[in-house]
Each structure stands twice: as structure tokens, then as C-alpha cells.
Amino acid sequence: MSSWMNQIRKGYGKKLAQIHAWNGWMVLFLALSGLILLSGFWRQILGEVRVWLKWLHIGVGIALIVPVLYYLLLASKHWRQLKGKPWQQTNVIIVLALLLGWFVSGVLLWQFKAVGPAWSNSALVIHDLLTWIGLPYIIYHSITRTRWLKEPSRRTIIIENKARTVAAQKNNQPLYTRREFVRLAIGAGLTITLGPSFVKWMGSLLNPYQVNELSQYNANQLIPDPVPLPASSPPIGGGAKGNYRVYTVTDIPFFDNSNWSFTVDGLVKQKLNWNWEQFVQLKRTVQVSDFHCVTGWSVYNNTWEGIPLKQLLDQAGVDEQAKTVKFYSGDGTYTDSLTLKQARLDDVMVAVMLDGKPISSELGGPVRLIVPKMYGYKSVKWLTRIELIKEDHIGYWEQRGYDTDAWLPKNKMDI
Ligand SMILES: Nc1nc2c(c(=O)[nH]1)N[C@H]1C(S)=C(S)[C@@H](COP(=O)(O)O)O[C@H]1N2
Ligand SMILES: [Mo]
């Protein structure tokens, strides 16, 4: 064996192997944490851990620069070594492109306030796209690197020791180790969990400019249906553009006439309470507005029909001492609040219809709050109670690490 080969094996090869291993573990962490962040199931279970996990995901994503830069220092040598091995060269390029794409789109998502919704929207599509392409690729890559699927002689980067192979062949033992088996199991697990989401996501890409089918499912049974105003039907906004991602921290509650009512109470002159039959009689208006979530997605041109919050506050008569408007979800868990001044903005709406149809259970129907000038977490779904209070109230996600300042950057006001 030449001394050059020896050197590769002992020094540089070992470094490459270490970089590869670090990179692999970090990507595995990012994949798992990313999928958990995406999944509705974990949203329900994790609470504030989810917000920490988001910061960890961002932190590890940024730290991924280290092995990549380290690799780039060795890259020219590695490249020379890969001469005549187009598959491996292609692999290096694919992996670097994936990492770069994830990194750039990830930074844009992290900095969503600085870059604004338009950039976040594209970044989210790219981040997702790379995930659905990149993860299967990486899973494939790590599976095919395991020994039992690959001829030992075809291996070029020296990671596992050769002695083991020889010994294994002699003793007629299986050619995979426990470690490789674990890798394979992780790969198979990811494939099974990812498959359905991938198919769903592809579907939403093919049909991007409609409120998704899922969100049209309505388990509420409230009679009578609200009758849309002419401005809602057909919707003056021309129909919502984009897909809602259905978010909930509880099971989706559903309602019928017997278990639904709407209350305005607390520091008011007159406490208000309606059942559904009464509530649908209240005078409604129509507005068109965009909806933005901090995780990067937006839905544009929603035609909402409902009761301006201002109107309800005036009807109840707000007491002098009241400072805060607290919103309760009928899910029994989610709450949020606005200052009285914020609550009196013209476009804050207790919404009953979206694009001329009752708001579906998934999207917070029969009645949800809409605060167009703020991020989506203020828009409490399944709204059933509004309480006027003296003190501040920190909402569900704000208690768990979201910014109490929910203003969209372009709408930021000092009220
Ligand atoms: N009751 C309740 N309201 C909620 C939430 C929730 O989990 N529960 N999520 C909030 C967040 S973070 C967003 S972005 C929007 C999402 O609305 P959608 O599920 O209709 O897409 O609802 C907000 N209101
Ligand atoms: Mo959100």
C-alpha cells in the first residue's frame, strides 16, 4: 500500500469520516425535530417544549455550518479523490445543495419578522420541499451505505474497519452490525411516518390556491345556518388564496345548539349572552383580509363575515377600569388577549363565515376571532367568551414563549 493511501486512511480519511458522522447526527436531529414541529399531534402534546424544540432546531441548524465549513476545507482533496466516481461526486453536490437550501430557507423562517410574510411563505415552501426530497434521499443514502446492501469492495470512504468484514465472512456472520441495523430501522421508521404527509403535501402543491379540502370538513351541527350577505356570496375577495394549516392544542371541539353559547362579561355595564339562534341574528359585516402565521404560511384574500368586535364591546358597554379584552376558546384551553385599544380596531372581527360558508370545525367554527393586523395566534378559534378585565392576560402561546407583540411588522402600532 502506498504511503499516500496510508495517509488518507489515517489522517484525512478519519477527519472526513468524523465530519460525515457529525453531519449525519445533526441532520437526523433536524429531521426529527422538524417533523415534530410540523406535526399537529405533537403540537397538542408538547406545549412549551415545542417552543424550546424550535429554538434547538434553529440552533442546531446554524451549528451545521461548522461541519460544512470544515468539509469545504478538505473538499478539494476529497474531490480529487472522487475523480472518476460520478455517483459519489453527485452525492456530495446533492448533499451540499440540500444543506445550503435548508440553511437559507431556515434563516428566513427564523427571521420571519425581519423579512415579512412574502419571504417566509417562499422559504416555508422551499424548506418543506427540500425536506420531502432530501429526507428520502438521505434515508436511501444511509441505508445503502450499510454493509449488507453494499459490496465491501465498492466502499471508498473508509469508515468501518475492514477486519470486521473479513472476520464476518470467515465466520459466516451477518454482514451488518447493530449500529447499521439501528440506522436501517430509523430509515424504515421515517419512511413510514413520512409517506402520508408527503402525499398530502404534494396534493396541496398541486392545488395551492384554494382553502384545503381538509379545512372544509365541518363537524358542527348548528341550526340554522347563517345566511351569507351579498358581499360574502360570491365572496368579494374572490376566494381565499393559500392553505390553512389546521392548528389546535386540544382535540378539535365540535358544537351543536345544545352546547354552544356566546358570552361577553367581566367589566361591562351589561353582560351579554346568546344561544346560536340568537347569535345568527346579530348584524354582520364583511371584510377581506390576509392571515399570517409565525411559522411562515399565509392565506390571502379571506372574505370574512361576522360581527366587528367593536360592535359587541359597545353593546355591552365597557367599564372605565377595563384595560384588557380576554378571549376564551370553547376548547377549554386556549386563550389570548388584546388591549382595549387594539380590540377596537375596525378589522378585529368575531367571524362566523369564510368565503360565504360557515367556518368549519377545523378552522375554528362556528365562531372564531380574526385579528388581521397581528399574527395568527391572536385569532382564537372556537371563540365562546369575551371577558373585560383590569389586569393583563398572557395568552396560551405567549405563556409558552411566543412574543407578546404579535403585530405584523408592517402594521405595528403603539396601542
Ligand atoms: N383555540 C385555538 N385557537 C388558535 C390556535 C389553537 O391552537 N387553538 N392556534 C392559533 C394559531 S398559532 C394560528 S396560526 C391560527 C391557525 O388557524 P387555523 O388552524 O384555522 O389555520 O389559529 C390560532 N388560534
Ligand atoms: Mo400560528
What is the pLDDT of the chain when averaged over all its residues?
Answer: 85
Identify which of 186, 190, 225, 249 has the alpha carbon closest to the alpha carbon of residue 382: 249
Residue 310 has pLDDT above 50, yes or no: yes
Nearest ligand, CA 395: 1
Q: What is the pLDDT of residue 165?
A: 55
Whole-angstrom distance, CA of residue 328 vs CA of residue 384: 6
Q: pLDDT tens digits for 244-280? A: 988 899 888 999 999 999 999 999 999 999 999 999 9
Rounded distance from Cα 347 to ligand 2 centre (Å): 19
Q: pLDDT tens digits for 23-72? A: 989 999 999 999 888 877 788 788 888 899 999 999 999 999 999 999 99
Q: What is the pLDDT of residue 154?
A: 46
Residue 211 has pLDDT above 60, yes or no: no
Q: pLDDT tens digits for 353-367? A: 999 999 999 999 999
Whole-angstrom distance, CA of residue 273 vs CA of residue 282: 12
In which residue are the cell numbers 385569532 written? 379
- Best mutation site among 220, 243, 248 for ligand 1, i.e. most ligand atoms within 8 A of its Cβ? 248
293 lines ligand 1 (CB under 6 A): yes
Q: pLDDT tens digits for 65-111? A: 999 999 998 888 888 988 898 888 888 999 999 999 999 999 999 99
Query: What is the average per-residue pLDDT within 280-296?
Result: 96
Instruction: Give Rg (Cα) of the chain.
Output: 27
Query: What is the average per-residue pLDDT within 199-220?
Result: 60
Rounded distance from Cα 368 to ligand 1 centre (Å): 9
Structure confidence at residue 336 as a pLDDT band (50, 70, 90): very high
Whole-angstrom distance, CA of residue 306 vs CA of residue 278: 14
Q: Could you tell me which residues are beta bridge partners of residue 215?
A: none
Residue at 302: amino acid letter: N
Which 3 state secondary structure label does DSSP give 387? strand
- Best mutation site among 247, 328, 385 for ligand 1, i.e. most ligand atoms within 8 A of its Cβ? 247
Residue 179 has pLDDT above 90, yes or no: no
Q: Which residues surround ligand 2, an ion (CB under 5 A)?
A: 293, 376-377
Is residue 242 a contact partner of residue 363, using CB atoms and an 8 Å limit?
no
Q: Could you tell me which residues are beta bridge partners of residue 369?
A: 350
Query: What is the average per-residue pLDDT within 387-396?
Result: 96
| Long-range contacts of residues 283-290, Cβ cutoff 8 Å, at least 24 apart | 283/307, 283/311, 284/226, 284/229, 284/352, 284/353, 285/229, 285/349, 286/229, 286/231, 286/232, 286/236, 287/347, 287/349, 287/372, 288/235, 288/236, 288/237, 289/347, 289/370, 289/372, 290/117, 290/372
